[in-house]
Amino acid sequence: MLIIGIAGGTGCGKTTVVNQILKELPEGEVGVISQDSYYKDTTHLSFDERVKINFDHPRSIDFELLENHLKDLREGIDIHQPVYSFIKHNRTGDTILTHPRKVMIVEGILILTNPELRKMFDIKIFVHADSDERLIRRLKRDISERGRDLDEVLARYQNTLKPMHQQFIEPMKEYADIIIPNNKYNTVAVDIVKSIINQRLV
Ligand SMILES: Nc1ncnc2c1ncn2[C@@H]1O[C@H](COP(=O)(O)OP(=O)(O)O)[C@@H](O)[C@H]1O
Ligand SMILES: Nc1ccn([C@@H]2O[C@H](COP(=O)(O)O)[C@@H](O)[C@H]2O)c(=O)n1
């Protein structure tokens, strides 16, 4: 199994890059795990308490479960990936049955901050987009898809997202094997990653 980690700040285009990689690759040979599925369970908290969580800090992630799931997949064992709701700020209780694949992609803002997880990645990719681009994309996406408004996104950006990005995410570039510049759609970089995967699949 080839395990690829794709990190980068919110809105840099990780999900978009993953979808571009998946397109045209043999169906069923590449699987995806999203770090978002591994936000800690917050059922014990009220909604008002959940809203206040710093979701850009590594402690918000259940890295133990993510690491165990990845180990299971590597050993050929199916996992039940939790489903996360950005509206409820919590897991939904549903899971997605995820089978081991020849290539597993793990994507998320904080996946390179965890040393144990980092060791499991055969290829580490960091997707870069400038912070103004990312904020614009985040605003549009969170308002249209994640039930947020302008004030919510801007307050979160100033209070937690920007400082956490500078403290935890940006320094992870140091560990990357490949940095994809993604201010504009970068088909060349995506093609290079696809060809690396294709070599592995033959
Ligand atoms: N290179 C790009 N140029 C313009 N918009 C992009 C680009 N990459 C992604 N987007 C858009 O930006 C938003 C956030 O992208 P997404 O892939 O969800 O980022 P991430 O998973 O890193 O948070 C989406 O609406 C997506 O369509
Ligand atoms: N309940 C939550 C959980 C996370 N976030 C934000 O999501 C961002 C990470 O997801 P991307 O798809 O953008 O990589 C992160 O910056 C968190 O602030 C949230 O808003 N609400």
**Ordered domains of the chain (ranges, CATH):** 2-201 (3.40.50.300)
Give residue 25's pLDDT band: very low, low, confident or very high (50, 70, 90): confident
Average pLDDT over residues 106-118: 98
CA angle 80, 107, 31 (to 5 degrees): 50
Query: Among 19, 36, 133, which is best to mutate for testing ligand 2, by the most ligand atoms less than 8 A from CB?
Result: 36
Provide the 3-class DSSP secondary structure of residue 152: helix
- The pLDDT mean for the chain works out to 96
Using alpha carbons, list the distances in angstroms from residue 159 to 52, 99, 148, 151, 164: 10, 38, 16, 12, 9
Average pLDDT over residues 122-148: 97
Indicate if ligand 2 lies below 6 Å from the C-beta of 40.
no
List, for residues 68-85, the tens digit of each pLDDT value. 999 999 999 999 999 999
Q: What does pTM read for this prediction?
A: 0.96
pLDDT, residue 136, reads: 98
Indicate if ligand 1 lies below 6 Å from the C-beta of 86.
no
Percent of the chain whose predicted confidence (pLDDT) is above 70: 100
Which of 26-30, 155-159, 188-192 is predicted with the least confidence, judged by mean pLDDT?
26-30
8 Å CB contact between 83 and 96: yes
Distance from residue 4's CA to the centre of ligand 2 (Å): 21
pLDDT, residue 26, reads: 85
Question: For residue 100, is pLDDT > 80?
Answer: yes
Convert 101-117 to b/e letters by CB count within 10 Å (16 or more is b).
bebbbbbbbbbbbbeeb
Taking each helix axis from N to C end, the angle separating 14-22 and 187-201, rounded to the nearest 10 degrees, works out to 50
Average pLDDT over residues 149-166: 97
pLDDT, residue 200, reads: 80
> Of ligand 2's atoms, which has the minimum distance to the CA of residue 89?
1
The number of angstroms, rounded, from the C-alpha of 1 to the middle of its chain's C-alpha atoms is: 19
pLDDT, residue 162, reads: 98
> Of ligand 2's atoms, which has the minimum distance to the CA of residue 50?
1
ipTM of the modeled complex: 0.98
Query: What is the C-alpha R_g of the chain?
Result: 16
Distance from residue 83's CA to the centre of ligand 1 (Å): 21
pLDDT, residue 24, reads: 83
Taking phi over 0 as left and psi of -120 to 50 as alpha, with beta for the rest, 147 belongs to: left
Indicate if ligand 1 lies below 6 Å from the C-beta of 128.
no
